[in-house]
Amino acid sequence: MKYSFLILTLIVLPAWLWAQQSPELRALLRAGNQAYSRGEMIAAEIQYRKALDKFPETSEASYNLGNALFRQGRYDQAIVAYAAVSERSKDPRLASRALYNQGNAQMAREDYESAADAFRNALRQDPANDAARHNLSLVMKKIEEQHQPPKDQDKESQQEEEQQQQEQQEDQETKDPAKDSPEDAPPSSQPPSRPMTPEEADQMLKRLELKEQMVQNQIRQKQNRGKIRGSKDW
């Protein structure tokens, strides 16, 4: 699944708010941001943690720390940092951005249910967060895919079901007593036969021999009629 990190960026305070921060906090955040821009994520992490150690309520340091951890693939720790921002920040837009990034970290961990919750909460904080809306639609599709059985498993289950139905049908055809029952046989016009006695068999044989003899006599008579008689000697 492709998903975007459209607002996975650093928090840079505006000049008027930056001026309200203590010089020490400004120096730590500046050092962390410079290391982050150079791609030195561990150095950036160190500066942000220093800022949080001295100024634990600083949402900007927590947010930027989450980004540095995310870039290192340390998603569990990044989620904790983003959650701290969304819980204590009074700025709904900042909270929405932190929740969005938290959802991205959870997607990277393939924790899609939690990611969906994070994107929903990001939209509650800021309904104009189109990036959260986009990724929410992607993660919901991923959740639907997880709840669908694989296609090969569907095909295999269907084949097994068809085979079971065929076996049941064959068993019914071979074991159904109604198909072999005498009551289902068509009625016969002939009376049921019984074994022939020796006397009856002898009589039948004599009748057949007599009939055969009569046929032979008829054949000889026809042959005699066709012969030419010779003249007598006087």
The per-residue pLDDT for 187 is 41
Residue ranges of the alpha helices (H) in 109-226?
112-125, 130-146, 151-175, 177-180, 198-225
Lowest-pLDDT choice from 15-29, 30-44, 61-75, 153-167:
153-167
Residue 34 C-beta-side C-alpha neighbours within 13 Å: 7
CA distance 70 to 75: 5
The per-residue pLDDT for 16 is 43
Residue ranges of domains in the chain, CATH in brackets: 20-72 (1.25.40.10), 86-148 (1.25.40.10)
The per-residue pLDDT for 148 is 78
* Confidence class for position 90, pLDDT limits 50, 70, 90: confident
CA distance 155 to 150: 9
Residue type, 112: Y
Q: Are 47 and 56 a contacting pair, CB within 8 Å?
A: no
* Cα torsion angle, 51, 88, 9, 16, sign: negative
Distance (Å) of CA 195 to CA 41, 146, 190? 107, 76, 15
pLDDT reading at 229 higher than 50: no
The per-residue pLDDT for 155 is 60
Q: In whole numbers, what is the pLDDT of the chain averaged over residues? A: 76
CA distance 66 to 160: 51
* Confidence class for position 228, pLDDT limits 50, 70, 90: very low
The per-residue pLDDT for range 27-57, each reduced to its tens digit, is: 999 999 999 999 999 999 999 999 999 999 8
Q: Are 85 and 95 a contacting pair, CB within 8 Å?
A: yes
CA distance 106 to 80: 11
Query: Who has greater pLDDT, 186 or 81?
Result: 81
The per-residue pLDDT for 96 is 92
By C-alpha distance, which of 87, 40, 92, 84 is closest to 66? 84
pLDDT reading at 126 higher than 50: yes
The per-residue pLDDT for range 178-195, each reduced to its tens digit, is: 444 333 434 444 444 555
The per-residue pLDDT for 116 is 94
